[in-house]
């Protein structure tokens, strides 16, 4: 009985599209090294809650019912965390499946696997495991579904952006983007990371796309939340060189004409969404969280439902967990989150900080913008500003951490030492890094091995203090340019705006070519001959439609022809084909008899090009143009049109629209009158194909 | 295993309700009135009573208390949930007492002497099993639900006693109860309503639109103009989020200003509050009293650079002390603030004040 009920429930869910999500709990980069050497990025605490919990809460509250979590680096830790969390309880409205593999190297690999396993059935939400958001995506989802309904399979992705003007602290320079969009259809025309460049190039063709309103926006923050159609996974499979979402977006936009796919965007004003892509963003998002920008995901809401993690909120955004003790004369100034069972000594000044569970903090400590994780010991007379101190680290007496310092897990610093700005200290020696470089991400066995090695190397007391334990990670000590970049990246790239630097954006491709009208006409003519040749050869050698399409596509590039022209020329060539083969003396019935099998044969070629409503129109206008020139063969025209309709090359609706559209010339009107009146009558009368076919037959 | 299935179904429902509560009132979740929350809570408690496993009233009360604690913790500012849980607990106590045959009269009559000596019915006394208890409790909860359905109408029915022709009424923000109250009066009388917009959420705009659609002459003013306009006002009629145990209010931001202005001009301040908003909470419980939402409405996120230099707060509620209130209109009639304590002891059992 129970089973049948379950089944019923399942079938119910099948009827209305189940909203699915793909959550990627791996960043596929090393921006958080050396912190992420001990703990995967998705589990790093943000406001004392693991980042992946924010992402899952966002997905659940937005109505996602099934989530696939993909993990690679330290997948067992993520799995363990998720199995303990409320997401894996049977009552959770969002079913979480954990999929682990050490073989994933990029977003592309994950999506290819999604496609291979056929996990998604309808539109899905794609997010990273470090996205913090309270955006309600239902509106964007509705728009996305609507777009896909109207123009089938054209729009493949809707990206979600948040309005945020330049200079906002939650915009970090390295992630700044510039987007060109069609303001009416919300279509993305161009998407580029600015990377601190002063001068940017936009490809010319985005301004030729037929819309009269454009926006170029620099006030957007990419939330890294996208609504994807199942096609996205297929496209990743087709294009094995796509590694990241950027590759994908660029690929789709550049190849829009060939593939016919589009990307749209949705800009939200009131939600909050950001990705913690480096420590600068970590700092920004943490402070936004404490300042309640992400309401209702606030620290005191305890949305993860963990016991003993609740805290209270009082004035000036001070959050206190249970069992927090505060010494005499200590001040909790503002924007402060203190986890359970943390004790703070006397005369401390704490502001804009997050302190984890079970920490002990001595007397006369000054903390500002400090992120202290769990089980940290801080002795007396310590000053910490804008730094991260990871789990179980120890800061001895009299230590001063200047801005942007990072103390990774289990590090001991001090006593009486001042770490310069930007110091990164870890228990892992930076050199062991080079050893397992080839492995990219070492597995646990090797970590154990390397720990043995670290014991052999001595700590430098000048760097970490007399009782200190840990190694300094220096940017300069690594010669490898890539490595250098990585270690700097921990706090976000500092980009030097270089006025002379050029953007790497695609050049205004081909615009010089087509700007010369003579050249364009010439290339069209040559293209037509080439297409004719291809088709002839295709007929003789019996080449399949797919291969013909490939050949025509390559010709298209060679002669720089746009999609519309390809379609018109193709239609023309096919219609003219019998005359080219047999000479112009053919009678009308003979012509029709020759052409119809050809149309049947090449229907696949047409279908590849005729996708959108506009394509149908273009095809029909080429058809009209051709017959205007071949007045003597008007008799065959109707039969051909009917065949094209039966082969599903052109749709009924579009034919009718074409008829109802006024003709521009007298001759055109005549042509329509020839058959249009009767055609329209039956088209309006019954939409039934059967009836239509019989009617057409009787007419012939 | 139909029993197990029922239980998972029940806990699924409870979880869904909890997450709804957590997200509620933020704009991201479904926005709803407290009347709806009260009904939903009661319906859920009826389901708990019907489907959970319990053999005696004590068990049931323990289950409801446990779930109740979670529900109130999910959204501490939504006191209606806690109130409904207390009402249901009281119902169970009464039904149990009736099944035992002890008269309700003695149970309700409280004297200082009795409080000191007996200590009431202690938990051990609820262990006795009565077969018809379940049906009786469900029946009583159904009655409570019917009462809840009718609250807004009951309050609106009293409108004609309070609103007279050609009066100028002031209100603030949007309260569904006040809306119904004014609309009911407008069927017979002509009067003028001034609505304070209640920034930053400006629910007052919605209220004004709704009232003017009903044919009431309506003016919207900014919150800053409340004092200036007050001299022309005959009556102030407001809604509230919670009526506190001392007869004070926890109402939408700006209500305190309005109440002080009304006091200065000796304008009567009438509060339309259904009984389910009556809470045994006192205004000194700091951590659950306030609710701060995203500061987006005060200073938009798009402002950019300035946001890293200022602290922005967006509190939702105001406390209005009982001295400033003239009259409460509830679904069972009008009461003075000083009478609230009495209503409190009628509605809730003293042992249930702390869940």
3-state secondary structure chain B: CHHHHHHHHHHHHHHHHHHHHHHCCCCCCCCCCHHHHHHHHHHHHHHHHHHCCCCCHHHHHHHHHHHHHHHHHHCCCCHHHHHHHHHHHHHHHHHHHHHHCCCHHHHHCCCHHHHHHCCCCCHHHHHCCCCCHHHHHHHHHHHHHHHHHHHHHHHHHCHHHHCCCCCEEEEECCCHHHHHHHHHHHCCCCCEEEEECCCCCCHHHHHHHHHHHCCCEEEEECHHHHHHHHCCCCEEEECCCEECCCCCEEEECCHHHHHHHHHHCCCCEEEECCHHHECCCCCCCHHHHCCECCHHHCCCHHHHHHHHCCCCCCECEEEECHHHCCEEEECCEEECHHHHHHHHHHHCCHHHCCC
A214 touches chain B (CB under 8 A): no
CB contact under 8 A, A295 and B16: no
Kindly report the number of other CB atoms within 10 A of residue A328's CB atom: 8
CB contact under 8 A, A61 and B12: no
pLDDT score, position A680: 47
User: How many angstroms away from the CA of B35 is the closest CA of chain A?
Assistant: 22
Residue of B nearest to A283 (CA): B308
pLDDT score, position A201: 83
- Are residues B220 and B204 in contact, defined by beta-carbon separation less than 8 angstroms? yes
Strands A412-413 and B269-272: unpaired
pLDDT score, position A667: 61
Burial class (CB in 10 A: 0-12, 13-18, 19+), B98: middle
pLDDT score, position A463: 83
List, for residues B225-236, the tens digit of each pLDDT value.
999 999 999 999
Handedness of CA A483, A484, A487, A491 (dihedral sign): negative
Q: Can you tell me which residue has the tokens 């690679």?
A: A72
Q: Look at residues A344, A388, A361 and name the one whose alpha carbon lies nearest to residue A46.
A: A388
Mean pLDDT of chain B: 86
User: How many angstroms away from the CA of B200 is the closest CA of chain A?
Assistant: 14
Q: Where are the domains of chain B?
A: 3-102+127-152, 154-350
Residue B12 with chain A: CB contacts under 8 Å: 91, 93
Residue of A nearest to B307 (CA): A168
Secondary structure E strands in A284-365: 311-314, 318-321, 325-326, 331-332, 336-338, 343-344, 349-351, 354-355, 360-361
Q: Which two tokens stand for residue A66?
A: 């099934």
pLDDT score, position B118: 55
- Are residues B38 and A305 in contact, defined by beta-carbon separation less than 8 angstroms? no
CA distance A599 to B146: 71
CB contact under 8 A, B294 and A301: no
CB contact under 8 A, A219 and B302: yes
Which residue, among B11, B286, B304, would best test binding to A if mutated, counting the most A CBs under 10 Å from its CB?
Answer: B304
Q: Can you tell me which residue has the tokens 């951590």?
A: B287
pLDDT score, position A481: 37
What residues of B are in the A interface, CB distance below 8 Å?
Answer: 1-2, 4-5, 8, 11-12, 14-16, 19, 22-23, 26-29, 73, 286-287, 290, 292-296, 300-305, 307-308, 311-314
CB contact under 8 A, B295 and A293: yes
Secondary structure of residue A349 in the 3-state scheme: strand
- Are residues A31 and A486 in contact, defined by beta-carbon separation less than 8 angstroms? yes
Helix %, strand %, coil % of chain A (to 5): 45, 20, 35
**Of A166, A169, A269, Cβ closest to residue B308:** A169
pLDDT score, position A6: 41
Q: What DSSP element (H or E) covers A224?
A: strand A220-228
**Of A163, A165, A291, Cβ closest to residue B295:** A291
Which residue, among A49, A171, A295, A368, would best test binding to B if mutated, counting the most B CBs under 10 Å from its CB?
Answer: A295
Eight-class DSSP state of A343: E
List, for residues A423-432, the tens digit of each pLDDT value.
888 888 877 6
- Are residues B204 and B231 in contact, defined by beta-carbon separation less than 8 angstroms? no
Q: Look at residues B86, B71, B61 and name the one whose alpha carbon lies nearest to residue B349.
A: B86
**Of A61, A91, A169, Cβ closest to residue B28:** A61
Residue B16 with chain A: CB contacts under 8 Å: 93
Residue A2 with chain B: CB contacts under 8 Å: 1-2, 4-5
- Are residues A443 and A424 in contact, defined by beta-carbon separation less than 8 angstroms? no
CA distance A545 to A553: 12
Kindly report the number of other CB atoms within 10 A of residue A517's CB atom: 8
Kindly report the number of other CB atoms within 10 A of residue B345's CB atom: 12
CA distance A499 to A635: 66
CA distance A229 to A158: 9
CB contact under 8 A, B19 and A60: yes
User: How many angstroms away from the CA of B5 is the closest CA of chain A?
Assistant: 7
Below-50 pLDDT ranges, chain B: 1, 25-31, 105, 107
CB contact under 8 A, B304 and A293: no
CB contact under 8 A, A293 and B301: yes
pLDDT score, position A9: 42
Count of alpha carbons within 13 angstroms of residue A481, beta-carbon side: 0
Q: Look at residues A414, A532, A542, A551 and name the one whose alpha carbon lies nearest to residue A470.
A: A414
pLDDT score, position B103: 54
CA distance B314 to A313: 13
A136 touches chain B (CB under 8 A): yes
Write the DSSP assignment of A675-687 as a string of letters.
HHHHHHHHHHH--
A692 touches chain B (CB under 8 A): no
CA distance A87 to B5: 20
Return the exposure string of B35-45: e unless at least 16 CB atoms fall within 10 Å of the residue's CB, then b: bebbbbbbbbb
CA distance A31 to A47: 20
CA distance B175 to A114: 49
CB contact under 8 A, A165 and B314: no
**Could you give the domains of chain A?**
20-275 (3.90.550.10), 307-430 (2.160.10.10), 519-673 (1.25.40.180)
Residue B295 with chain A: CB contacts under 8 Å: 291-293
User: How many angstroms away from the CA of A295 is the closest CA of chain B?
Assistant: 5
Q: Can you tell me which residue has the tokens 């016919």?
A: A260
Below-50 pLDDT ranges, chain A: 1-14, 435-455, 476-488, 493-517, 677-678, 680-700
Residue of A nearest to B303 (CA): A165
- Are residues B130 and B194 in contact, defined by beta-carbon separation less than 8 angstroms? no
Q: Radius of gyration (Cα) for chain A, nearest Å?
A: 32
pTM of the model: 0.75
The listed CATH number (3.40.50.10470, 3.90.1300.10, 3.40.50.2000, 3.40.50.300) that belongs to domain B154-350: 3.40.50.10470
**Of A136, A164, A314, Cβ closest to residue B28:** A136
Which residue, among A58, A62, A168, would best test binding to B if mutated, counting the most B CBs under 10 Å from its CB?
Answer: A168
CA distance B22 to B76: 9
Eight-class DSSP state of A502: P
The listed CATH number (1.20.120.420, 1.10.10.10, 3.40.50.11540, 2.60.40.420) that belongs to domain B3-102+127-152: 1.20.120.420
Q: Can you tell me which residue has the tokens 């239509």?
A: A692
Q: Note if the bond before A34 is cis, omega within 30 degrees.
A: yes
A328 touches chain B (CB under 8 A): no
Q: What DSSP element (H or E) covers A389?
A: strand A383-389
CB contact under 8 A, A292 and B2: no
CB contact under 8 A, A168 and B304: yes
CB contact under 8 A, A272 and B301: yes
Residues 283-302 of A with CB under 8 A from B: 291-296, 301-302
CB contact under 8 A, A90 and B304: no
Which residue, among A4, A63, A91, would best test binding to B if mutated, counting the most B CBs under 10 Å from its CB?
Answer: A91
What angle do the packed helices A613-629 and A666-685 form, to 10 degrees? 130
Whole-number Cα distances in Å, A468 to A381, A412, A414, B26, B253 = 17, 5, 5, 48, 53
Strands A155-163 and A220-228: antiparallel
CB contact under 8 A, B5 and A294: no
Q: What DSSP element (H or E) covers A559?
A: helix A545-559
Count of alpha carbons within 13 angstroms of residue B272, beta-carbon side: 28
Distance of CA A539 to the CA centre of its chain: 43
Residue of B nearest to A63 (CA): B29
Eight-class DSSP state of A105: -
């Amino acid at each position: 009985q129970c089973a049948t009920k379950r089944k019923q429930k399942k079938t119910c869910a099948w009827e209305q599209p189940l909203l699915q999500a793909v959550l990627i709990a791996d960043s596929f980069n090393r921006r958080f090294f050396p912190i992420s050497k001990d703990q995967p990025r998705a589990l790093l605490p943000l406001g004392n809650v693991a980042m992946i919990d924010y992402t899952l809460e966002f997905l659940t509250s937005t109505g996602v019912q099934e989530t696939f979590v993909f993990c690679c680096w330290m997948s067992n830790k993520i799995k363990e965390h998720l199995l303990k969390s409320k997401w894996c309880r049977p009552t959770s409205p969002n079913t979480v499946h954990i999929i682990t593999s050490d073989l994933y190297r990029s977003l592309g690999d994950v999506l290819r696997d999604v496609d291979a396993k056929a996990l998604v059935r309808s539109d899905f939400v794609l997010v990273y495991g470090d996205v913090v958001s309270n955006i309600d995506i239902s509106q964007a989802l509705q728009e996305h579904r609507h777009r896909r309904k109207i123009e089938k399979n054209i729009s493949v992705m809707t990206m979600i952006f948040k309005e945020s003007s330049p200079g906002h602290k939650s915009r970090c320079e390295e992630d700044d983007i510039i987007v060109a969009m069609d303001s009416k259809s919300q279509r993305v025309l161009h998407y580029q990371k600015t990377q601190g460049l002063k001068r940017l190039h936009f490809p010319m063709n985005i301004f030729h796309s037929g819309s009269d309103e454009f926006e170029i926006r620099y006030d957007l923050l990419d939330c890294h939340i996208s609504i994807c159609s199942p096609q996205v996974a297929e496209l990743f499979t087709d294009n094995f060189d796509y590694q990241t979402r950027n590759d994908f977006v660029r690929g789709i936009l550049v190849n829009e004409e060939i593939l016919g796919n589009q990307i749209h965007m949705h800009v939200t004003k009131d939600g909050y969404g950001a990705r913690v892509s480096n420590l600068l963003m970590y700092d920004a998002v943490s402070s936004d969280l404490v300042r309640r920008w992400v309401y209702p995901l606030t620290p005191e809401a305890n949305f993860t439902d963990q016991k003993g993690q609740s805290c209270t909120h009082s004035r000036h955004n001070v959050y206190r967990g249970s069992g927090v003790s505060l010494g005499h004369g200590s001040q909790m100034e503002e924007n402060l989150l203190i986890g359970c069972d943390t004790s703070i000594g006397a005369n401390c000044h704490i502001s804009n900080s997050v302190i984890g569970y079970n920490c002990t903090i001595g007397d006369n400590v000054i903390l500002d913008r400090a992120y202290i994780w769990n089980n940290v010991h801080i002795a007396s007379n310590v000053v910490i500003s804008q730094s991260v101190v990871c789990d179980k680290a120890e800061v001895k007496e009299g230590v001063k951490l200047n801005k942007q310092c990072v103390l990774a897990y289990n590090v001991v610093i001090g006593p009486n030492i001042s770490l310069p700005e930007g110091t990164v200290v870890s228990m892992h020696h930076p050199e062991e890094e080079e050893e397992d470089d080839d492995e990219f991400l070492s597995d646990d066995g090797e970590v154990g091995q390397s720990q043995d090695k670290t014991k052999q190397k001595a700590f430098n007391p000048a760097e970490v203090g007399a009782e200190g334990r840990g190694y300094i990670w220096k940017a300069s000590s690594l010669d490898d340019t890539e490595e250098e970049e990585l270690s700097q990246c921990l706090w976000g790239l500092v980009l030097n705006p270089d006025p002379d630097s050029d953007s790497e954006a695609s050049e205004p491709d081909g615009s010089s070519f087509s700007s010369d009208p003579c050249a364009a006409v010439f290339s069209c003519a040559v293209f037509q001959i080439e297409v004719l040749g291809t088709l002839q050869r295709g007929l003789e050698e019996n080449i399949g439609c797919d291969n013909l399409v490939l050949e025509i596509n390559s010709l298209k590039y060679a002669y720089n022809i746009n999609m519309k022209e390809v379609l018109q020329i193709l239609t023309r060539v096919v219609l003219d084909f019998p005359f080219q083969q047999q000479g112009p003396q053919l009678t009308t019935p003979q012509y029709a008899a020759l052409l119809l099998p050809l149309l049947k044969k090449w229907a696949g070629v047409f279908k590849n090009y005729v996708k959108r409503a506009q394509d149908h129109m273009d095809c029909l206008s080429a058809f009209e143009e051709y017959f205007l020139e071949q007045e003597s063969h008007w008799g065959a025209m109707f039969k051909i049109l009917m065949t094209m309709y039966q082969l599903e090359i052109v749709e009924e609706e579009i034919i009718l629209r074409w008829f109802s559209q006024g003709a521009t010339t007298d001759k055109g009107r005549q042509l329509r009158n020839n058959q249009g009146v009767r055609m329209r009558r039956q088209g309006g009368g019954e939409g039934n194909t059967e009836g239509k076919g019989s009617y057409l037959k009787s007419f012939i | 295993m139909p029993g197990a299935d029922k239980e998972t179904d029940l806990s699924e429902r409870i979880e869904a309700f909890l997450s709804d509560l957590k997200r509620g009132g933020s704009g991201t979740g479904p926005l709803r009135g407290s009347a709806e929350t009260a009904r939903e809570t009661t319906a859920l408690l009826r389901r708990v009573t019907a489907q959970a496993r319990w053999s005696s009233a004590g068990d049931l009360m323990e289950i409801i208390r446990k779930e109740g604690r979670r529900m109130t913790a999910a959204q501490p500012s939504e006191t209606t949930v806690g109130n409904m849980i207390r009402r249901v607990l009281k119902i169970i106590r009464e039904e149990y007492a009736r099944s035992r045959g002890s008269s309700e009269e003695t149970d309700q009559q409280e004297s200082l002497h009795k409080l000191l000596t007996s200590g009431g019915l202690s938990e051990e006394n609820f262990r006795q099993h009565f077969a018809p208890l379940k049906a009786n409790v469900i029946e009583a909860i159904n009655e409570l639900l019917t009462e809840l359905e009718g609250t807004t109408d009951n309050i609106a029915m009293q409108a004609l006693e309070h609103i007279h022709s050609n009066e100028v009424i002031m209100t603030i923000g949007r309260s569904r109860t006040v809306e119904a109250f004014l609309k009911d009066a407008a069927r017979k009388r002509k009067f003028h309503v001034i609505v304070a917009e209640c920034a930053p959420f400006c629910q007052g705009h919605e209220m004004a639109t709704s009232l003017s659609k009903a044919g009431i002459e309506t003016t919207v003013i900014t919150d800053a103009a409340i004092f200036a306009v007050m001299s022309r006002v005959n009556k102030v009629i407001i809604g509230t989020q919670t009526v506190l145990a001392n007869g004070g209010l926890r109402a939408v931001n700006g209500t305190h200003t309005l109440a002080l202005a009304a006091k200065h001009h000796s304008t009567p301040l009438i509060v339309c509050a259904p009984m389910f908003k009556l809470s045994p909470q006192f205004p000194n419980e700091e951590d659950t009293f306030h609710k701060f939402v995203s500061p987006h409405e005060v200073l938009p996120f798009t402002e950019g650079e300035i946001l890293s230099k200022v602290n922005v707060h967006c509190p939702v509620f105001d406390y209005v002390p009982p001295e400033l209130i003239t009259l409460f209109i509830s679904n069972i009639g009008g009461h003075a603030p000083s009478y609230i304590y009495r209503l409190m002891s009628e509605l809730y059992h003293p042992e249930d004040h702390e869940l």
